Amino acid sequence: MTLSALIQSFFTDRLCTQMDASSHTIASYRDTFRLLLKFAGEKAGKSPMALTIEELDVEMIGFFLDDIENVRKNSARSRNTRLAPIRSFFRYVALQEPAYMFHCQKILSMPSKRYIRRNVEFLDPQEMQGLINAPDCSTWIGRRDHAILTIALQTGLRASELVKLRCCDIVLETGAHVRCEGKGRKLRATPLRRETVTVMKNWLKERRGSEHDTLFPTMRGDQMSRDALEHLVKRHIKTAAKSCPSLVGKRVSPHVLRHSTAMDLLHHGVDQAVIALWLGHESVETTQAYIHADMKLKEIALAKMSLPAQQTGRYKPDDKLLSFLENL
């Protein structure tokens, strides 16, 4: 099979049929191969359609990954994200065309690049309240934004989960909660506090949408995009900074709101395993990043440590023993 036939088969057969990959996964893989094929075509001096498997060798892949970092100025983390679809494709090629097994193995052995894992950013309770109070609730957009920010900071939903919420996903009777389909197609329900229930009741009454209508629509009634949500958060952070100076210069995205929810739960003594379930984490290890980022918890641990009542000195042998040892 030619390279073009293998790539088409990889997307249609492997990703769509066998794996039933999500639209986000397919879009990420597609963008990676668009960049790779365009780069390799320019290097080889031919169209992407004319490229062969042999030309996509470990050297070409290495040049492409260097270009991602040095020319496009992406981070090492983005570099690793681009490498993952390439590995997946060459695992598929090794199965479909065993003659290329050694060629594929060299590419599969390319390591991910190590990078500095920075502490997560989050808002403290005062900053969270300042952000919730920022929208102008005398307008329809302000009331919608107030409802979005309230739900985001109480539930810790991802940006993609927030914009996909429908009216039927909110249950406001006994056992009030919000349902969502999270990463990895995991369904989860997150309970709602009384004040959040009040806000959502008022919003649903004004929204007056059917069960399957989007919960937080745009002015045209369409589903909000992730870019629009990010712009919304930045706009209200700018407003909140006027009354909460600690927000000045702070980079806040919808994902930072998710981190803020996790840190708030952690400060209230909620177990890591419960926080992992609350946020829809695959593993409790992911939740440990919040412990590393929280200086307050470390300060509490330090305060519990006390110096011993009596300082113990080091053992000092007598002169005869020292003399014995020196003469050995």
Q: Is 315 a catalytic residue?
A: no
DSSP string spanning 41-52?
HHHHTS-GGG--
Q: Do 141 and 156 form a contact (C-beta atoms < 8 A)?
A: no
DSSP string spanning 203-260?
HHHHH---TTSBSSB-TTSPBPPHHHHHHHHHHHHHHHTTT-GGGTT----HHHHHHH
Give domain limits for the chain. 3-108, 125-303
The pLDDT value recorded for residue 225 is: 92
Q: What is the DSSP-derived secondary structure letter of residue 171?
A: E
Q: Is 30 a catalytic residue?
A: no
DSSP string spanning 293-304?
H-HHHHHHHHHT
Of 146, 158, 236, 259, catalytic: 158
Closest CA to 75 of 43, 118, 28: 118
Q: What is the pTM of this model?
A: 0.74
Q: What number of helices (H) and strands (E) belong to the chain?
A: 15, 3
Q: Is 205 a catalytic residue?
A: no
> What are the Cα distances from residue 157, in Å, to 133, 152, 178?
19, 6, 10
Closest CA to 59 of 48, 71, 67: 67
The pLDDT value recorded for residue 96 is: 93
The pLDDT value recorded for residue 320 is: 78
| Residue 78: burial class (beta carbons within 10 Å; 0-12, 13-18, 19+) | middle
Q: What is the DSSP-derived secondary structure letter of residue 188?
A: E
Q: Is 208 a catalytic residue?
A: no
Of 183, 188, 250, 267, catalytic: 183
| Residue 290: burial class (beta carbons within 10 Å; 0-12, 13-18, 19+) | buried
Of 87, 164, 255, 267, catalytic: 255
Provide the sign of the torsion angle of the four alpha carbons 237, 238, 244, 246, taken in this order.
Answer: positive
Q: Is 255 a catalytic residue?
A: yes
Q: What is the DSSP-derived secondary structure letter of residue 166?
A: B
The pLDDT value recorded for residue 266 is: 86
The pLDDT value recorded for residue 316 is: 64
Q: Do 145 and 135 form a contact (C-beta atoms < 8 A)?
A: yes
Of 79, 143, 258, 259, catalytic: 258
> What are the Cα distances from residue 311, in Å, to 302, 304, 307?
19, 18, 9
Q: How many CB atoms lie within 10 A of CB 188?
A: 17
The pLDDT value recorded for residue 287 is: 74
CATH homologous superfamily, domain 125-303: Intergrase catalytic core (1.10.443.10)
Q: Convert 80-123 into a string of H (helix), E (strand) and C (coil).
A: HHHHHHHHHHHHHHHHHCHHHHHHHHHHHCCCCCCCCCCCCCCC
Q: Which residues of the chain have pLDDT under 50?
A: none
